A = this chain, B = another copy of it.
Amino acid sequence: MPVGTGGTVKGVPQDILEELGVQILLGNTYHLYLRPGVEQVRNLGGLHRFMSWPRAILTDSGGFQVFSLSGLRKVTEEGVTFRSHLDGSSHFFTPESAMEAQIGLGADIIMAFDECTEYPADPARARASMEMTLRWAERSKKYFEEHKHEVPWSSRLSSVIGRLQTQVPRSARDDNIVAETATPTLFGIVQGGMDPQLRKESAERTLEIGFPGYAIGGLSVGEPRHLTREIVEATLEHLPADKPRYLMGVGTPEEIVEYANLGVDMMDCVLPTRAARHGLLFTSEGKISIKQARYAADDNPLDQNCACRVCTRYSRAYLRHLYASNELLAQVLNSIHNLSFYLDTMRRVRDAISLGERARFLSDLRSARKP
């Protein structure tokens, strides 16, 4: 999932996201809550309509964003008090208000409000944090079940798809993937720090509460990468394979392949777009820092093996010139390429999975036919 923090994947128009094959975007509740505000988005028909994005949207709960504010926040059993990074104003998120915000934004998949345990955390702290996330998960689910119909289009449900389709250009209508459900779907989040036993317990007790999908939170918080992988593995085995398993906030192209291979179904990361804005480009032959002088006279495409609209049209020399000149177009083209590279990577993963499944199916068929 590309990250569209404030209702936009930075620098990339929505029609290009569609062309790239983006099926689902992530929106950040914390950012949208502060600007333009949940009521504003709700009154304008929800985030889909507001940003003219007919395909699926997942919003995070705001928990991780608030966690990132460190000095600006205070956590109690009731919720989190934090100060806006924009104007220093004080705000209060609870499991209930985080659900209210996400339902108001009109996302298709919304996330339970959790506490992202910091790294490192001692055993007592990791347990206490996990226990609170479980209590918050129950409160999230309770509020969600009671209010899930309060979506921005609840009063005019039958027309929402129609309106979206009117708004988007004809070319984009055919393959739009709007969830035709009237209410969003709530995912639970597993915490438990870096302790496999706590992760197991968190997974089992989150499963007891019961959600249609499960996320692994609290990773990519500064721990070494081998530990991330270890905890992902230790958590995944306790999550049902027939429900979506979502690993939050990863990763590099290599990592997303690795995690998909372990059984992760969904991931989100700002890396492709953020790196792009800093001139760091992912290619089939590794990372390229386009600012380097060695590319100034390089007439080759950025990535010979990439069919995106950047690689088929522009040279490394041109991209290097745009970046070195601090041109807006550098950020636009770099973001388009990196997203294309990530989405291609995930397409290859899906192809490999379906190829494997076909091979298994054929092999099963052959076994069954044996007398």
Comparing A61-69, A242-250, A313-321, A355-363, the segment that makes contact with chain B is A313-321
A106 within 8 A of B: no
- A50 and B296 contacting across the interface, CB-CB below 8 Å: no
A196 within 8 A of B: no
A123 within 8 A of B: no
A284 within 8 A of B: no
Of B8, B12, B324, which is within 8 A of A35 by CB?
A: B324
Considering only CB atoms, which chain B residue lies closest to A50 in the complex?
B318
> Hey, which chain B residues are within 8 Å of A50, CB to CB?
315, 317-318, 321
A52 within 8 A of B: yes
Known contacts A315-B50, A318-B52: A299-B44 contact under CB 8 Å: yes
Q: Cα distance A309–B322 when bound, in Å?
A: 24
Interface residues of A in 316-368 (CB under 8 A from B): 317-318, 321-322, 324-325, 327-329, 331-333
- B52 and A10 contacting across the interface, CB-CB below 8 Å: no
A36 within 8 A of B: yes
- A313 and B44 contacting across the interface, CB-CB below 8 Å: no
Q: Cα distance A44–B52 when bound, in Å?
A: 40
Chain A at the B interface: mostly helix, strand, loop or mixed?
A: loop
Q: Which of A169, A315, A318 has the most CB of B within 10 A?
A: A318
Q: Cα distance A297–B49 when bound, in Å?
A: 13
Of B11, B167, B312, B314, which is within 8 A of A328 by CB?
A: B11
- A297 and B40 contacting across the interface, CB-CB below 8 Å: yes
Of B15, B309, B315, B333, which is within 8 A of A44 by CB?
A: B315
Considering only CB atoms, which chain B residue lies closest to A326 in the complex?
B6
> Hey, which chain B residues are within 8 Å of A317, CB to CB?
36, 40, 44, 50
CB 8 Å contact bits of A152-169 with B (1 = contact, 0 = none): 000000000000000111
Minimal beta-carbon separation of A157 from chain B (angstroms): 18
> What is the interface of chain A, defined by CB distance below 8 A to chain B?
6-8, 10-15, 35-36, 40, 43-45, 50-52, 167-169, 296-297, 299, 309, 312-315, 317-318, 321-322, 324-325, 327-329, 331-333
30 CB-based A-B contacts, threshold 8 Å: A6-B321, A6-B325, A7-B321, A7-B322, A8-B328, A10-B327, A11-B328, A11-B329, A13-B309, A13-B329, A13-B332, A13-B333, A14-B313, A15-B313, A35-B321, A36-B324, A40-B296, A40-B297, A40-B317, A44-B297, A44-B299, A50-B321, A51-B314, A51-B318, A52-B313, A52-B315, A52-B318, A168-B313, A328-B331, A332-B332
Q: A8-B329, A15-B313, A36-B321 are in contact. List 19 more A-B contacts (CB 8 A).
A: A7-B321, A8-B322, A8-B327, A8-B328, A10-B327, A12-B329, A13-B333, A15-B309, A36-B296, A36-B325, A43-B297, A44-B315, A50-B317, A51-B314, A52-B313, A52-B314, A52-B315, A328-B331, A332-B332
